[in-house]
Structure 1
Amino acid sequence: MKNFALIGAAGYIAPRHMSAIKDTGNSLLAALDPNDSVGIIDSHFPDAHFFTEFERFDRHIDKLRRNREAHIDYVSICSPNYLHDSHMRFALRSGADAICEKPLVLNPWNLDGLTQLEEELGNKINTILQLRVHPSIIELRDKIRSRDRNTKYEVDLTYITSRGRWYLQSWKGDQRKSGGIATNIGVHFFDMLHFLFGGLQENQVHLNEATRAGGYLEYERARCRWFMSLDINDVPEQVRAEDQRTFRSITIDGEQIEFSGGFTDLHTMSYKEILAGRGFGVEENRVAIETVAAIRGAVPNPVGEYIHPAVQGHAR
């Protein structure tokens, strides 16, 4: 059994990490969050120590580090995106491996510093790239790699996950903290495209607003038009009529790829891989982090041969 600490216990994604820790037969000893609305801990680890101040949490983890029987093996990080870098460094300096939510960092140059720290301290950084362990995505990747074709796949990616007014008032609405929509909700889809279709060759941005973005990515084996939105009005009318607020679609050469199921257990699957020594580390994140950083810094230009149909209705 491994001992865990968790940073960001009140966040949206934290319960999935708590479930993954429990489902893999391990123990959560300590958790941190400046917000004390963390009653969810009772459903998983009611005996875990909880802190709202980092300084007291730091002291507790340091005491555990000196206890061979109760030291922390892993620190799970569910904090706001812009704090991931610091919290991974804390984990490594505490003698633990890190398990960090996406995006690993906001800027690609931060990856080199983390790699250097891993080498210095001998601990490892793992990340949650959950789509890489999705059975349907693995099957699709294997099928793509087995085919011998001279032309690239034509891909359309549409992801709409509507959010209420609160979103832009939270840290997620601050690009300096979240990285913007393409980073916060898109980074694991861009990693999936890299996972499926190989190296990135071109990155065009046609639209980049607070609540929606779109562009074109070309990979070794595919040309991809993409569109992402937080606006309920972008959900197709027939889907909204069924009281659905999320719409996810990937087509490859006009064929719809179905992978809407199987999402609930992906964190547990990711933890199993990490505990078995097969986690995704710093370098596996590089292409996706470089992709979203370039999107963030680009000046949108709504012209070109490959523009997503949904972008055409919004681009100015």
Structure 2
Amino acid sequence: MKNFALIGAAGYIAPRHLKAIKDTNNNLIAALDKFDSVGIMDSYFPSADFFVEFERFDRHIEKIKRQHNQTLDYVSICTPNYLHDAHIRMALRRGADAICEKPLVLNPWNVDALAEIERESGQKINAILQLRLHESIIQLKKKVTASKTSEKYDIDLTYITSRGNWYDISWKGSDEKSGGIATNIGVHFYDMLTWIFGNIQESNVHLREKNKAAGYLEFENARVRWFLSIDENDLPNEIKAIGQRTFRSITIDNEELEFSKGFTELHTKSYEQILKGNGFGLQEAKKSIEIVHAIRNNALNNLGEKHPFVM
């Protein structure tokens, strides 16, 4: 049984990490969040110590090691994107491996700096790249790898997940804190694409607004038109008609990739692999971070094919 601490216990994604720690028969000894709406912990680890101040949380971790010889094996990080870097460093300083939500960091050079600290500490940084463990995605990768064709696949990626007025007020509405739309809701898709279709060869951004973005990516084995949005007005009419607020579609050579199911256990699968020493590390996470950094910073242009939603 390994000992875990969790930072960001009140966040949206934290329950999946709590469940994963429980499902893998491990123990949560401490949790931190500036907000105290963490009653969900009672369903998993009611005996875990909880803190709303980082300094007391950090002190507690050191105290139990010195006074009770209780070691910390992993720190699970579910905090806002811009804080991941600092919290990963804290985990490594405390002699623990880090398990961090996407995006691992906001900038490619942050990955290089963390790699140096990882080497110095002897600890491991693990990125949650759960789509790589989705059965439909695994089968697609096998199909692409086995294909003998020299033709590139034509892909349309469309992801619209409606968000209310709260979004702009929260840290997610700040590009400096979240990395913007492409980073916040798209980075796991870009990781999936580069994992399956190879290195990025071309990136063009056609649209970049506060609540939506679109562009064209070309990989070694695929041409991708992509559109991401949190604006419910972008939902297709047939989706609006049934009262659905999210639309996710990936078509490959005009054939829909079915992956609407199978998401509920992906964090547990991620933890199982991490505990076996098979987690996804810094270099595996870096490619998608490079992609979203370019999307965030490159000038708009009209190169490459445009997604149908922006024509």
- TM-score, L = length of structure 1: 0.97
Partner of 1:285: 285
Partner of 1:273: 273
Give the match's secondary structure for 1:126. strand
Partner of 1:259: 259
CA distance in 2, matches of 1:100, 1:176: 19
Partner of 1:246: 246
CA distance in 2, matches of 1:183, 1:135: 24
Partner of 1:219: 219
Q: Is the 8 A contact 1:6 1:77 kept in 2?
A: yes
* Deviation larger for 51-60 or 68-77: 68-77
CA RMSD of aligned residues (A): 1.0
Displacement, 1:305? Answer: 4.1
CA distance in 2, matches of 1:119, 1:247: 41
CA distance in 1, matches of 2:136, 2:66: 43
CA distance in 2, matches of 1:268, 1:39: 21
Give the match's secondary structure for 2:106. coil
**Residue deviations 1:131-158 (CA, integer Å, cap 9, x gap):** 0011110110000010101110000000
Structure 1 unaligned blocks of 5 or more:
none
Structure 2 unaligned blocks of 5 or more:
none
Displacement, 1:65? Answer: 3.0
Partner of 1:191: 191
Displacement, 1:70? Answer: 2.3
**Residue deviations 1:282-309 (CA, integer Å, cap 9, x gap):** 00011100000011102222x2340001
Displacement, 1:64? Answer: 2.7
**Residue deviations 1:70-91 (CA, integer Å, cap 9, x gap):** 2110000000000000000000
Partner of 2:134: 134
Partner of 1:151: 151
Partner of 1:118: 118
Say whether 1:310 aligns with 2:301: no
> Given residue 310 of structure 1, which amino acid in structure 2 is its aligned partner?
F
- Identity between Structure 1 and Structure 2 (%): 64
Give the match's secondary structure for 2:150. coil
How is 1:1-316 mapped onto 2 (pairs within 5 angstroms)? 1-66=1-66, 70-301=70-301, 303-312=302-311
- TM-score, L = length of structure 2: 0.98
Q: Is the 8 A contact 2:129 2:188 kept in 1?
A: yes
Q: Is the 8 A contact 1:65 1:94 kept in 2?
A: no
Give the match's secondary structure for 1:83. helix
Alignment length (residue pairs): 311
> Given residue 311 of structure 1, which amino acid in structure 2 is its aligned partner?
V
CA distance in 2, matches of 1:238, 1:138: 30
Give the match's secondary structure for 1:15. helix
